[in-house]
Copies of this chain bind each other. A is one copy, B any other.
Amino acid sequence: MGVVVSLEDGKKQQASIQPLIALTDSDMSRVNELILSKAGSDVEMIPEVANHLISSGGKRLRPMVTLAAARMFGYGGDGHVKLATSVEFMHTATLLHDDVVDESDMRRGKKTARMIWGNQASVLVGDYLLGQAFRMMVEVGSLKALEILSSAASVIAEGEVMQLAAAKNLETTEDEYLAVIKAKTAALFSAAAEVGPVIASASKSEQAALRSYGTNLGLAFQLIDDALDYGGNARDLGKNTGDDFREGKITLPVILSYRRGTQEERLFWKAAIEDAGNDDAALEKATALMARYGAIGETISRARHFGNIARDALAPLKDTPQKNALLEVIDFCIDRVS
């Protein structure tokens, strides 16, 4: 294990999320039970709306990260299951609210909750899940974990507002966009990873390592998602290529193509993103412009940068199956695109 192999050279076979799934398997059964029970309520609409999204087959990457991050420091208690469930509820609540804000029709290949039960139910069930998440966190009794997850909740909301403020603004710089996704996406990954060593009473530097891993994994994950939306395998994502474009979303491939484009091309982007001139012909042109300016490749190489930082964050930790599984998840997230 002397010499470090770079990401590209070492990629002999496709990286997989399987080791993480296998390692967290029995803990995840408990998380899944807890999800079902805590999404329950006598108010019938709540479990209906919640389960619609919960059962739609997300990978549950975030709770698995929490579980592995606790176990890798020898945690033997019960709290990690509740914290992992809280993390997943925070994520689900965000998705419910996002779909309302973005007026999305489809998510993971299914109609969004708001299309079936309406916007109000989606907002309120999201709030309910957030409330349940906080109750579970409190039950765990770790003030530090509470502080981390509650800060994340407000940072995420802040990120969503930042995104709203930047919506359809093609002048958004890459730095501004990175600040948005750091808040909107990376903060939850970061908190999910950090609470593991926190409840396992690991050292400050171990907590910092997992926090940094989570942040940078989250950034890489979001950038790859952005790239996939313009050319990934649609079935893998459960959403159609071009969704971001049709919703007029500003993502890094758009920012780079816009900034690198000619004056005339910038008029096209403005018509497409700002004035909803985003039919199939426009999507085709957008994709062609991205290819011309290498915007997808550049987005992926920006993602790799963050993936490399996540990798180095974990480097000093003792070799454990959990550490290796978490490292493989970095490549898994990035390889989705190839």
Task: Report yes or no: A309 in contact with B6, Cβ–Cβ below 8 A.
Answer: no
Expressed in whole angstroms, the Cα–Cα distance for A312 and B258 within the complex equals 10
Task: Report yes or no: A208 in contact with B308, Cβ–Cβ below 8 A.
Answer: no
Task: Report yes or no: B293 in contact with A209, Cβ–Cβ below 8 A.
Answer: no
Task: Report yes or no: A175 in contact with B212, Cβ–Cβ below 8 A.
Answer: yes
Contacting residues, chain B, for A4 (C-beta < 8 A): 260, 293-294
Expressed in whole angstroms, the Cα–Cα distance for A68 and B224 within the complex equals 36
Task: Give the interface size bracket for A toward B.
Answer: 35 or more
Task: Report yes or no: A175 in contact with B215, Cβ–Cβ below 8 A.
Answer: yes
Expressed in whole angstroms, the Cα–Cα distance for A175 and B205 within the complex equals 12
Interface of A toward B, CB cutoff 8 Å: 1-4, 6, 171, 173-176, 204-205, 208-209, 211-212, 215-216, 255-256, 258-262, 266, 292-294, 298, 301-302, 305, 308-309, 312-313, 315-316
Task: Report yes or no: B316 in contact with A266, Cβ–Cβ below 8 A.
Answer: yes
Task: Report yes or no: A209 in contact with B173, Cβ–Cβ below 8 A.
Answer: yes
Task: Report yes or no: B175 in contact with A292, Cβ–Cβ below 8 A.
Answer: no
Expressed in whole angstroms, the Cα–Cα distance for A205 and B312 within the complex equals 35
Interface of A is mostly: helix
Expressed in whole angstroms, the Cα–Cα distance for A251 and B173 within the complex equals 28
Expressed in whole angstroms, the Cα–Cα distance for A313 and B174 within the complex equals 7
Task: Report yes or no: B294 in contact with A6, Cβ–Cβ below 8 A.
Answer: yes
Expressed in whole angstroms, the Cα–Cα distance for A337 and B313 within the complex equals 25
A305-B305, A312-B260, A315-B259 as given contacts; A212 in contact with B174, CB under 8 Å? yes
Task: Report yes or no: A3 in contact with B293, Cβ–Cβ below 8 A.
Answer: yes
Please name 11 pairs of A and B residues whose Cβ atoms are closer than 8 Å in the assembled complex, sorted by A.
A3-B292, A4-B293, A4-B294, A171-B208, A174-B313, A175-B309, A176-B208, A176-B212, A298-B308, A298-B312, A302-B309
Expressed in whole angstroms, the Cα–Cα distance for A278 and B312 within the complex equals 24
A196 to chain B, nearest CB (A): 16
